[in-house]
Structure 1
Amino acid sequence: MNHPMRDLSLRACSLAAAALLAACGDSGKNDTEASSGASTGGSGSATEPGPTTTDPATTDPATTDTPTSNGPTSGPTSDPTTDATTVDPTATTTDPTTDTTTGAPVCPYTPVDGMPSIALELIANGFDRPVLTLPHPKQPDRLFIVEQGGHIKILEPGETTAPPDADDFLYVKVKGENNTDIGSEQGLLGFAFHPDFPDDPRVYINYQSQPGDGRTLVDEYKLDANNPDKVDPNSRRLVYSVGQPAGNHNGGMILFDSTGMLMIGMGDGGGSNGQFGTSRDPKSPLAKILRIDVEPDGKADSNTACGSCPMVDGFDFTVPPDNPHVGDNAYAPEVWASGVRNPWRFSIDPATDTMYIADVGQGTYEEVSIGKAGADFGWNIMEGNNCFKGAPCDTSAPVNGVNKDGMTAPITEYSHNDNGRCSITGAFVYHSCEVPAWDGVYFYSDYCSAEVFALKWDGNAVAEMGVVVDTGGEPIIGSGYTGYGDVIINTVVVDGMNTLQDGKIYRVVPGA
């Protein structure tokens, strides 16, 4: 990703799991990352499947199945079939989990008072590198699990294991499909429902195709007219595409903002030290947060991200007229924010419209920044709020402030020197009715250390909660949320052959 897929570094993460997924930074986010090869991480070093920075050959594969909480430990994992009201997945008119007056999901939990300790409850396992978990927009008990290997599966109420591939909601052939290819940062990385789904039956994915040249594609699909639990594979339309100079730092997160525009997270194209120059190039869509209208404007678009990238053409979208650089010929008009290295997972708080961008660093710092139109987050001059490799820069900006060079500081950062941390995996803001005191708390994690952190941002200051729970050594590859506002943490298990397997889905819950 380099983390998410970050460049797998030649240095190993302290936790076994870490090495696996690419959660670590480049060559520890070192400078050994490849400089060429669109379909691979480049020559000489592996890249992580999710975030990256570790040498899989040097990590200890031992992991545990039961996460631990910071503070009192949680009791036995509860039966996921008792956590929510079962719904008929074929129902299209009424949903017993939804309040008929407000339209909001009915609370399925007994609220817990105060600030309890935080634990993780296993919902389901058996997935292939689950990078994202989302609820059906109208049926909160149904979860859509995005697997990096190219599958999207529906976890129905009461199910506790991954459904078979034959029941896929969507499948696309991707690079990095092979589960033993732990160096891959490519694959199916993002998924989003149209804002009016299912009335507007369109969905969107972000992936690197196979066969192909490793470029990033954003596709649109429509539901099968005869089966609302599957997409029609013949309905594919290419919405956006970007050439990639290497196989890592692909970003991959997509989501719709409150205005109905699609936000796309693009990494810097791979390699180390921002070697392809995309982060400082305003015309390149790489190393950016992009914002587009998915409706076609009828023009055939084309772009190339850098001199060594393949030309991409034939896609069709519309530039939102309120994007910050519209009319400025120095910028690609779809650029909304710049200076990110690998925004593996970002999210928008529906209550405040605040965007949290968890950006994977290279060798030293991981960061969380607040998304703002026109912002420059500093890469590759800055890593977090620190000068990168001695580059001259201004580090005096306060939290979320803008320095004299026009670069925006993160709201929090952490070092790789602490507990073997190496690659950040962002999550979401908590809005579940189960623990009212956690409302508005943002969760994030580290791939290598398997720790989950939390903080609360009020728009001016950040209240750090630190490490609130860990997964017992399982690398954290992804995240998500439920229809009830619960935060989801996705992990993988690493076997003795450094193969990523048994992807697990956990819910953030109060501890015992």
Structure 2
Amino acid sequence: MSIFPQLRRLGLWVCLAASPLVNAETLEIKTQTGSLQVKTIAEGLQNVWSMAFLPDGRMLVTERPGRMRIVSPDGKVGAPLAGLPAIVAQGQGGLLDVVLAPDFATSKRVYFSYSEPGEGGNSTAVSYATLTDTKLENVTRVFSQQPKIDSSAHFGSRLVWAPDGTLFITLGDRYSEKDKAQTLDNHQGKVVRINADGTVPSDNPYVKTAGALPEIWSFGHRNVQGAAINPLTKKLWTGEHGPQGGDELNIDEAGKNYGWPVITYGENYGGGKIGEGTHKEGMEQPLYKWVPSIATAGFIFYTGDKFPQWKNNILLASLREQTLVRLTLDGDKVTGEERLLKKELGQRYRSVIQGPDGLVYLVTDESKGKILQISPK
């Protein structure tokens, strides 16, 4: 009996990829939109968290244990760059996201997030630095999540440039401090928005709210590990890593409360209710959700021309399910889900990146991590 009826949710289609056809170095898979080739272009990396393409085609890569490297287009992995600040590399913490500054062509600045040690424990921080071929110079911290907590979990940490040049930073609730996601006197379970120099934009929603931290953009989040700007609407979309169930995709808007931990579609690990249920007045419903959890990570809106049928689709990396998820959209509504690379490689995917060549790149969160390139067959 076909399993597909069991996989349908809310009238959406789900297509699982076929078995691998060739060897592990170059994998061919069949999808709803045609055959794809998945090629390993670099390996020998450890727990890769993020990657950004430099203008010359090289890749700037972060490894969670606290290393940043430059990888050449032919897959040669460079030595770790010198100059990183102190980093707590334990549990889910370490060196995390990296993005180029909008003016990188002239400033050579890169922004990166990491778990920063300090009084009381650690927290997510963001710094910028000037990039050279061998080191990071003039490192300047522009944000530090407050307060610091003695925890090795839920750092969030996706960095996204808004069209107006401000920087969104997604933050986790630090696991042990989930109730703080509902209060505005801390950065736990928040999305924050800052200017490139670390100052606070004057139009942030809580700038004039007594007792609220002015960097806060939205609140009620658990652990936002994915975020991207919708190229059509220019709005911020976020992907929230739920507990046992309840991963969410949200349109993240100023001043809104996304419910955690009061409402959720997930449950405690091992079972048990969290909060008050799934709905509450004044709290946002997810645009889309996964129950059970697939452990959502980074995602993009695809805008290239190598996969015409994927134009403006979401491509989302999954850790637990070891898959690349493609979501089709009709405006702000998700109309379909296809799961590519359904565990063929047995890899946890942390980030997905669109290359300047229009191809899709995946990085794997494994002790023997890889950079994978996806191209049409």
TM-score with structure 2 setting the length: 0.83
Identity of aligned residues (%): 23
What is the identity, as a one-letter code, of the residue corresponding to 2:282?
Answer: G
1:241 aligns with 2:144: yes
User: Over the residues paired in the alignment, what is the CA RMSD in angstroms?
Assistant: 2.8
* 1:202 paired residue number: 109
**Pairing 1:468–2:344 present:** no
Distance 2:265 2:357 in 1: 33
Question: Which residue of 361, 369, 373 maps to 1:503?
Answer: 369
Q: Specify the alignment match of 2:311 in structure 1.
A: 439
After TM superposition, give the deviation of residue 360 of structure 1 in Å.
0.9
Say which structure, 1 or 2, has more relative contact order (CA 8 Å, 6+ apart): 1
Alignment of 1:4-15 (within 5 A): none
| Farther off after superposition, 208-217 or 475-484 | 208-217
Letter in 1 for 2:46: D
Larger strand fraction of residues: 2
C-alpha separation between the residues in 2 aligned to 1:204 and 1:186? 17
1:450 aligns with 2:322: yes
Cα offset, 1:280, TM superposition: 0.7
Deviation of the 1:410 alpha carbon:
1.7
* Aligned partner letter, 1:489: L
Counterpart AA for 1:229:
D
Q: Which runs of 5 or more residues in structure 2 are unaligned? A: 1-15, 27-31
Q: Determine the structure 2 residue equivalent to 1:284.
A: 186
Distance 2:356 2:92 in 1: 28
Residue 174 of structure 1: aligned partner: 87
Partner letter of residue 156 of structure 1?
A: S
- What's the counterpart of residue 259 of structure 1? 164
Question: Whole-Å Cα distance in 1 between the matches of residues 136 and 37 of structure 2?
Answer: 39
Q: Distance in 2 between matches of 1:118 and 1:356?
A: 27
Kindly indicate whether the alpha-carbon contact (under 8 Å) linking 2:187 and 2:213 is maintained by their aligned counterparts in 1.
Answer: yes
1:197-256: CA deviations, max 9, x gaps? 121232222112368732322112124xxxx424443x1222111233222111111121
Query: How much has 1:351 moved relative to structure 2?
Result: 4.9
Aligned to 2:7: none
Amino acid at match of 2:298: G
Distance 1:255 1:199, change over 3 A: same
State the Cα distance separating 1:359 from its structure 2 match.
0.8
The 1:466/1:169 distance shift into structure 2, 3 A limit, reads: farther
The question of whether the paired residues in 2 share the 8 Å contact of 1:362 and 1:383 is answered with no
Name the TM-score, length of structure 1 as normaliser.
0.62
Give the SS at the match of 1:318. coil
Shift in CA distance, 446/201, structure 1 to aligned 2, threshold 3 Å? closer
For residues 285 and 189 of structure 2, the distance between their equivalents in structure 1, rounded to whole angstroms, comes to 16
Of 318, 329, 333, the match for 2:214 = 333
Shift of 1:169: 7.1
Query: Matched residue of 2:273: which SS?
Result: helix
Is the contact made by 1:207 and 1:217 (CA closer than 8 Å) also made in structure 2?
yes
Asked if structure 2 preserves the Cα contact closer than 8 Å seen for 1:427 and 1:489, the reply is: no
SS at match of 2:122: coil
- 1:268 touches 1:278 (CA, 8 Å); kept in 2? yes
* Residue 25 of structure 1: aligned partner: none
| Amino acid across the alignment from 2:65 | G
For these two proteins, the number of residue pairs brought into alignment is 350
